[in-house]
Structure formats: C-alpha cells, structure tokens
Amino acid sequence: MSERAGFGFVEETAMCKVSALLREREAVMEESRSWSGEVKGRPWKVTQADCVETAKGFDAASVDLVIADPPYNLGIAYDLYKDKLPPAEYLGWCETWLSQLYRVLSDSGSLFLYMGEEYASEVDVMAKRLGFIKRSRIVWFFTFGQNQRKGFTPSHVAIFYYVKSKHFTFNVDDPEARVPSARQLVYNDKRGNAAGKLPDNVWLLTKAAYEEALGPDADIWLHSRVAGTFKERLSKSLPCQLPAAMLQRIVRLASSPGQVVFDPFCGTGSTAVQALKLGRSAVTCDVSPLCTEYTVQQLRGLK
C-alpha cells in the first residue's frame, strides 16, 4: 500500500509509529505547564502540551471556533517538533488531532484549517470522512514564496472552512467583516448593497498593499505573509505567524462575543490575541516552551 494512503487506510506499522510519536511527546510534556488570566472579563488559558492531550481534557462540544495552522511537514526547524515525518505517519498524526477537534467543536462551531499544498487533498478528504462539512476552500495567495529553479514558486496556502451542522455561526451583518462590492467600486451602480458584500474566497497578498489589508476599498482579502522584516512580526525566533487582519475577519465572521476560540498550535499566540481583543475567550497550546512562553507574554500585555 502506498505510504501516502493515510487517514483510515494507513498501514498498521504507520499507526504504531504515530502512537509511539504521541507517547514520546507525552514523555517530553511530563513537566507541562499552563497559564491563565483574563482580558476585560474574558478568560484565556495557555498550555505547554501536545494538542491531542490538551483537547482530550475538553468536554465534548465545548469550543465554538477552532483556527488551526499545524506544521506542514516541510522540514521547518521547530524547537521540539520534528517537521519531516514519513507521509503516512504525518497523515496519521493529522487524523489523530482532527478527530479530537471534531469532538470538542460545538454543533454551531467552525474549523478554519490551514494546510500546505503537499497534503491539502488528503487532509480535506480525511476531515470530511471524520464528519466535518466543508463550506469553502479559501486560497490564501501571497506574491512571494520560496523561489524554485525547476518548478513553479509555491505562493499560496489552502484554508479549509468546515462546520459540523447546518446551524453554524456566520455573522453576515458584521460591518467590519464586509467589503464593498464590484457594483459599488467599479460600476457605481446604485443597486449595490450599501452594506457591501461578504468577502470572496481568494485572499490576495501583496506587500505593497499590506497596510491597506481589509481596508474599506478592498474587495478581496489583502494579506501579506508576516515576514521577518515586517513591523508586525512579533519574534524572528519563531518560524510562523499569521496576519492579524486575517484572524480578525475569521473571528468576527465565525464566532460571537463571549464564545470560545481554540488554537491547537499557538505559535506566536496571534489567534488568542485577536480573539481576546474581539471579546472572545481564548484557549491555546503548543509543545514548544518558546511558543507558549511568548504567547503568555503577549496575552499578559493586553489591556
């Protein structure tokens, strides 16, 4: 059987390796730590632990929105996590944490899952097999990726938008989440809805347009990757950071004030920061002491 078969079809030896990987992480996390606090009455919690073990501690259907940006198995130099697993082992690991995310997500909840192109198709099929209902595949496009000498430069990430039922939260009337329509911007058509429209499912990223990301005159999602030279970059020692404007839109559209937002791979803590700023509760975790400690610093600094 192909090594890439994965998710439910992974050969027994690969699943044994996944189990061994989880046991290894549990051993590393014997001295796991957690921090908690409040921002304007909204609680937050950060745990240094594996996302699977963290989610197992949640009650079923207790989370309203999950924003997950896992490692893409590209060989990124994380401080603890090994980011270059055999394909079947990586997919088996993805199935393990996706199963937990499905369990903890409420019936009205949503999952926004970032995934690199290498495994996007397999993970999408896996998520639907586990019970997630796909509403959209958002293309996060940026104009600079790692240059290729004999191929196309990778310049996009898939963001899969899933729900668990037809009764999901989607705040269509939030004015901060809407954009002007083409009728308004291009044709000056008075029939255009004065409230604008919902965003398209292609988010275009250009560095020149970064300062105008999600501005009132934008009819597409303009986001730059948060490169090491950008002012928004919180820490050059941490490998990944999502743009704040992107996270704000997701939180506004797919959750309501007072609800719980969970990020199982906290990174720099950007998701938790934006959730708290918008009046949601935030729960996040990571195996990395560097990521969790930095996230705690960010959350404690919020007013």
Per-residue pLDDT of the chain (303 residues; tens, 9 = 90+): 344 444 444 555 555 555 655 555 554 444 569 999 999 999 999 999 999 999 999 999 999 999 999 999 988 878 878 889 999 999 999 999 999 999 999 999 999 999 988 999 999 999 999 999 999 999 887 755 556 677 676 677 899 999 999 999 999 988 887 776 666 565 666 676 777 778 788 776 544 444 444 443 333 344 444 444 444 444 445 566 788 888 999 999 999 999 999 999 999 899 999 999 999 999 999 999 999 999 999 999 998
Q: Which two tokens stand for residue 291?
A: 């990521």
Residue 1 placed within a domain: no
Measured between alpha carbons, how far is 47 from 45 in angstroms, rounded to an integer?
Answer: 7
In total, how many domains does the chain have? 1
Question: Is residue 124 assigned to a domain?
Answer: yes
Orientation of helix 117-130 relative to helix 87-104, angle to 10°: 40
CA atoms within 13 A on the CB side of 4: 8
Q: Does residue 254 lie in a domain region?
A: yes
CATH classification of the domain holding 121 = 3.40.50.150
Which residues span the domain enclosing 218?
Answer: 12-300
**Is 225 among the domain residues?**
yes
> Is residue 48 situated within a structural domain?
yes
Task: Confirm whether 78 is domain-assigned.
Answer: yes
Residue 126 in any domain: the answer is yes
Residue 142 covered by a domain = yes
Write the DSSP assignment of 213-224 as a string of letters.
TT-TT-SS----
